[in-house]
Structures are given as structure tokens and as C-alpha cells.
Amino acid sequence: MNPNRLKYLDAMGIQVYVPRLRTDTTPVEVMASDQVDTSEVSLSKSESLEISLDRMDWLQLRERVSGCTQCSLAESRTQTVFGTGNENADWLFIGEAPGQDEDRQGEPFVGRAGQLLNNMLLALGLSREHVFIANILKCRPPKNRDPKPEESKSCKPYLRRQIELLQPRIIVALGRIAAQNLLETETPIGKLRGRAHRYADTNIPLVVTYHPAYLLRSPKEKSKSWQDLVMAKQMIND
Ligand code: URA
């Protein structure tokens, strides 16, 4: 095993055991989605937005998002955070919303939580170049408060179009806000993780795990998160 991978696994709190009787040193890892149709005047702002988004490609969508004024977060943001990664990725990781660092840099998960996410990816044998990373919200809520329902609702068509364009083989919801929004439920995260879900009306498998920022505060939960990621990997390999 690449010695660096041991470091990433270690950052995830994962112990790697080497079976005693083996003579080689291969460790065994334990644990385990352009036009605006102006005829749709009876539709709400976000509904008509949804119709036009259906036809957008990545570039058009990115441009639409960057100029978005659907909600008041447009007034306080430095810039939108569209998402980043491989537009042909099998894996889609979805967080909550940009924080201060992300708002400044225009990229998701670039702060401390992002470093842990990078290690989670590397522990899975992935990197940011292999996956796509997005958020429920494209704009930073002031003082990193939770997204308001109307903000999530305005942003939802963007994420849905991203998922349609990406067609990921698996979606990993990072944290309660992502999980509850994606699954349209108020069930606590502890009851959502550890099992397979499907995204909306699609067959795309969705796995819920803890948010990296939560794992930084509660490192003991890293093992559970690792179990979730291993389950996601198994689902993709099946
Ligand atoms: N937390 C999130 O949920 N998303 C980010 O992009 C950064 C931190």
C-alpha cells in the first residue's frame, strides 16, 4: 500500500491491521443532476427557472449560477460557489453551503473541513480530480448560519441540473443539511446514515454520512463515516 494512503486512513481514524501470518506487508483494511420560457407567466420564479435549466449544458449552468439573484444571499456573497471536479465523475459529494474560505475562493470545501474531505477521498483511493463536489447552496449564508428553506428551494434546480448532467453512480450527502434536503425529510442524520437511499425520483444511490466539519469536532465518529464511505464504494462496485 502507498505509504501516503496509510496517512489518509490515519486522518480518518482508521486502523490498518497487518495479519500476523502473512509474509508480505500488504495490509488488510478492516471496516470496513435557454432560453427563459416567457410564456410561463403563471409559474413562480423558481419554477420557470427550472424549465429553462433543463436545456442547459455545464457552461450555461455555471453562467446562470454565477449571476443568480434568486434569493437574498446574492447581496452578501463575494461570489457563487458552483462546485468543482470531474464532470464525468462517478462520485458526487454534496455539502451544505460555502463558508468564508469557499466564498472567497469560489471553490467548495477549501477550508479545514475540506482538508479532511480530501483525506477521506484519498483513503478511498480517490482525489478531487476524480469526483465532483457541490453544495446544497451556491452562496454563503451570512455568519455560516443554516440555510433557510427558501434559500435551499431557490438553489435546488441548480443542483438538480448538475446531477442530471453528471449522472453520478453514487451521491454522498455530507451532513444533516445535505441529507435532509436531498431526501426531503426531517429524519435525524443518525437514522439516515448506514443505509442506502435513492436520490429523488432517480435510481441514483445516495449514502448519508457525517459532515467533515462535524468529524473535526467529534473525531470518534470518523469510524462511522468510514463505514458509510466503504458502503458507498461497495455499492458502486456491485
Ligand atoms: N462546508 C460545506 O458544507 N461546504 C463547503 O463548501 C465548505 C464547508
Per-residue pLDDT, 163: 98
The CA 234 to ligand 1 mean position distance, Å, reads: 25
Per-residue pLDDT, 29: 37
Q: Is 84 in the pocket of ligand 1 (CB under 6 A)?
A: no
Per-residue pLDDT, 238: 76
Q: Does 57 have pLDDT greater than 50? A: yes
pLDDT digits (tens, 9 = 90+) for 79-122: 999 999 999 999 999 999 999 999 999 999 999 999 999 999 99
Q: Is 99 in the pocket of ligand 1 (CB under 6 A)?
A: yes
Residue with CA at minimum distance from ligand 1 atom 6: 108
Q: Rounded to whole angstroms, how far apart are CA atoms 76 and 48? A: 24
Per-residue pLDDT, 96: 98
Q: Is 102 in the pocket of ligand 1 (CB under 6 A)?
A: yes
Strands of the 170-174 sheet, one edge to the other: 84-85, 132-135, 91-95, 170-174, 205-209, 196-198
Per-residue pLDDT, 6: 72
Q: What is the average per-residue pLDDT within 175-203? A: 97
Binned at pLDDT 50, 70 and 90, residue 16 comes out as: low
Beta bridge partners of 142: none
The CA 19 to ligand 1 mean position distance, Å, reads: 38
Per-residue pLDDT, 155: 98
Q: What is the average per-residue pLDDT within 180-202? A: 97
The CA 198 to ligand 1 mean position distance, Å, reads: 22
Q: Is 113 in the pocket of ligand 1 (CB under 6 A)?
A: yes
Considering only residues 233 and 237, tell me which one the structure prediction assigns the higher pLDDT. Answer: 233
pTM, entire model: 0.84
Contacts (Cβ under 8 Å, ≥6 apart) of 68: 74, 80, 138, 139, 158
Q: Cα 25 from chain centroid? A: 34
Per-residue pLDDT, 26: 37
- Which is the closest atom of ligand 1 to the Cα of 174? 3
Helix H, strand E, coil C: the string for 144-160 is HCCCCHHHHHHHHHHHH
Per-residue pLDDT, 165: 98
pLDDT digits (tens, 9 = 90+) for 33-50: 444 444 444 555 555 555
Q: Residue 75: phi, psi to the nearest 5?
A: -80, -30
206 and 198 Cβ atoms separated by less than 8 Å: yes
79, 84, 102: residue to mutate for ligand 1 pocket, most atoms within 8 A of CB: 102
Q: What is the average per-residue pLDDT within 132-146? A: 97
